Structure 1
Amino acid sequence: MNSNEIRAVYDSRSITVYQAYSKAIALPAIQHNRFVPPFSMYRMTWIKPSFLWLMERSNWGRKSGQEMILAIRMTRQGWEEALSQAVLTAYDPSVYRSYDEWATQFEQARVHVQWDPERSLRGKSLPINSIQVGLSRFIIEQYVHEWTVEIRDATPLVRKISTLLQEGKEAKAKALLPGERVYPLLQPLARRIGMRSEHIL
């Protein structure tokens, strides 16, 4: 079974997550250092701390509506607050006492957590699962107004790494990747989100 690990760029106060958006949403967010309309507060938004997972998902910012990659630095307090309210998107018997218990919690969840295979530089699935976190409309305002510290345009970096890969310069591309490491969690929180890793405090 794959281990479930949160791999991220983080420091003592913040963690960086990534989102891919159209220019219509991304450019005002960068300008205001905050999500503003046409960003919607009324639909679920997914944040991912794994850079390469999002590169695979957005095809290095080439998919329609995902042309710009944002690096959002948010407070660790906010990140862990979101995880403390999370319910897995799939039933896991090691986390929930019964399928019905999970289904009831899932219907009422303010935050969703999903684990998907981490990716290599070339997009190959790895035997480690990375986290993506879905913030519902009931918690997005906290993300936007309280937890977000900085919104940075990571698109130039994405383009540079992608170009190096296309040119076969894999070592140079790898050297530019964000320096992610495993994010540690306390046991109760790790268990809630089905985290399986030796990095549990």
Structure 2
Amino acid sequence: MGEVQREIRALYSALTVTVYQAYAPDIGLPAVQEGRFPDGWKRDRMTWVKPSFLWMMYRCGWGTKAGQETVLAVEITREGFDWALRSSCLSHYERGLYADRDAWRRELKRAPARVQWDPERDLRGRALPYRSLQLGLCGEAVRRYADEWIVSIRDVTPLAREIQGLVRGGRMEAAARLLPRERPYG
């Protein structure tokens, strides 16, 4: 077997990147209405953003899991996204990337962002042979995300439910046509 392919696939433009998150309606709906996260959103904990729509759908059960009923498409600046990537540390130790486990632990404590690679998913939620990015933001990165990087927040729950309905009905091509047009990030 060859090395597992890791790839950031995203919906992006020259200036922005779309990431996905899912919240309970008491957080998600005010975020959409106000264009920013409401006071009830916790800035003091890690928040994970996912550039892959299908990975987010797998994680939140198409917006049906408790506490994840509102699926958000958060458009952020590429400048912010790139800063988070440059400032990140892997969420797990990987030999050869760090001098040793202690060096990795020190970097993990210091870094305001974490990179985690998880199997990408298809429309049916099955794991694909390559991995997609989850980006964890904490400390300075959470503050920048909430206060500087957000360009817009959209509720994509209706889209998620429509695609899920098509998948359940066996209309895979129709479902695929509705997916965000993600491409390798670069």
Whole-angstrom distance in 1 between the partners of 2:123 and 2:169: 14
- Pick aligned residue for 1:112 from 111, 114, 122: 114
Question: Which consecutive segments of 4 or more residues in structure 1 shift more than 6 A?
Answer: none
Task: Using the TM superposition, give the Cα deviation of residue 117 of structure 1 relative to its aligned residue in structure 2, in angstroms.
Answer: 0.5
Partner of 1:91: 93
Q: Structure 1 counterpart of 2:137, which letter?
A: L
Task: Quote the residue 1:195 is aligned against.
Answer: none
AA aligned to 2:75 is R
In 2, Cα distance between the equivalents of 1:95 and 1:183? Answer: 22
CA distance in 1, matches of 2:4, 2:119: 8
Considering only aligned residues, what root-mean-square deviation do their CA atoms show, in Å? 0.9
Q: Percent identity?
A: 47
Structure 2 residues without counterparts, runs of 5 or longer: none
Measured against aligned partners, the alpha-carbon deviations of 1:104-142 in whole angstroms (never above 9, x if no partner) come to 111222111100010011111111110001110332111
TM-score normalised by structure 1 residue count? 0.89
1:134 and 2:136 equivalent? yes
Q: 1:22 aligns with which of 21, 24, 43?
A: 24
Which residue identity does 1:27 align to in structure 2?
Answer: L
The yes-or-no answer on 1:77 pairing with 2:79 is yes
For residues 100 and 30 of structure 1, what CA distance do their matches in structure 2 show? 41
Q: CA deviation at 1:13?
A: 0.3
Q: 1:55 aligns with which of 45, 53, 57?
A: 57
Alpha-carbon distance, 1:153 to partner: 0.6
Q: What SS does the aligned partner of 1:139 have?
A: helix
Paired residues, number:
184
| Structure 2 residue aligned with 1:160 | 162
Distance 1:20 1:178 in 2: 16
Return the match for 2:105 from 93, 103, 106: 103
Tell me what 2:44 maps to: 42
TM superposition shift of 1:20: 0.4
> Match for residue 10 of structure 1?
12
Cα deviation code 1:70-90 (max 9, x no counterpart): 000000000011111101011
Q: 1:134, 1:87 → 2: CA distance?
A: 10
Deviation for aligned residue 1:40: 1.1
